[in-house]
Amino acid sequence: MHRSGYSFWQRNSLSIVFITLTMAFWVAQFFTGLAEKNQERQETGRPPLTSSAYFRSGHFIQATFENWESEFLQMALYVLLTVSLRQQGSSESKKLEGEEEVDKEPVAAPDAPWPVRKGGIWLKVYKHSLSLAFGLLFLVSFILHFYGSLMDHNEEQMNKGLPLDSFSDYLGQPRFWFEAFQNWQSEFLAVASIVLLSIWLRQKGSPESKPVDAPYTKTGK
């Protein structure tokens, strides 16, 4: 038992559940993707892929990072745009007027994170570390999505007896951008939905909702 009196599960249940769901559905994606790919190969007279070969294939890499990329882009822009943009009545927005706790300059208290106590460049970076982290995760996922998509595309080209495309050639083709845009728009739709629906709808006990009896015009938590 932790000294706070709460167990490890109680202190970390939200992240544990979401990480568990992520891994469970990723495993499900892997095996259903492997079955789909091998069905496709069987129809064209090619031998099936092993699990390890599929894990390294463009089909699996593209499918994984195509989705991760859009999630990290959504979160990076959400963190940045909520700094200065507002939505009256939404629980996801800062108030229309006045300074909030997150706007105040950090104080190097004894229990503050070490970059705050260190100051200088460490503090400058730490002030923007959340958006920087999401931005970096988006960039890595974008590159891996492109790499996997190109691999899968060139495998199809090879099976059709057509020439393979280079990185620069494929970047100008619509397939990769279609894969990206169909995910990006859905992520921004999800953000717009919670920003707008939280104006009028409530979920008792959730920090993503305003109090049940809060007026529609109340902005912020």
Is 60 exceeded by the pLDDT of residue 1?
A: no
DSSP of 120-184: HHHHHHHTTHHHHHHHHHHHHHHHHHHHHHHHHHHHHHHHTTPPPPPHHHHHTSHHHHHHHHHHH
Res 100: pLDDT? 85
pLDDT on residue 220: 87
Summarised one tens digit per residue, pLDDT across range 115-157 is 999 999 999 999 999 999 999 999 999 999 999 999 999 999 9
Q: How much is the pTM?
A: 0.93
- pLDDT value of position 76: 97
Per-residue pLDDT of 49-103, as tens digits, reads: 999 999 999 999 999 999 999 999 999 999 999 999 999 999 999 998 888 889 8
Q: For residue 7, with 0-12 CB atoms within 10 Å meaning exposed, 13-18 middle and 19 or more buried, which class applies?
A: exposed
Which tens digits make up the pLDDT trace of 163-175? 999 999 999 999 9
Report domain extents, the chain: 6-55, 57-82+108-200
Q: Residue 185 contacts by C-beta under 8 Å, 6 or more apart in sequence?
A: none
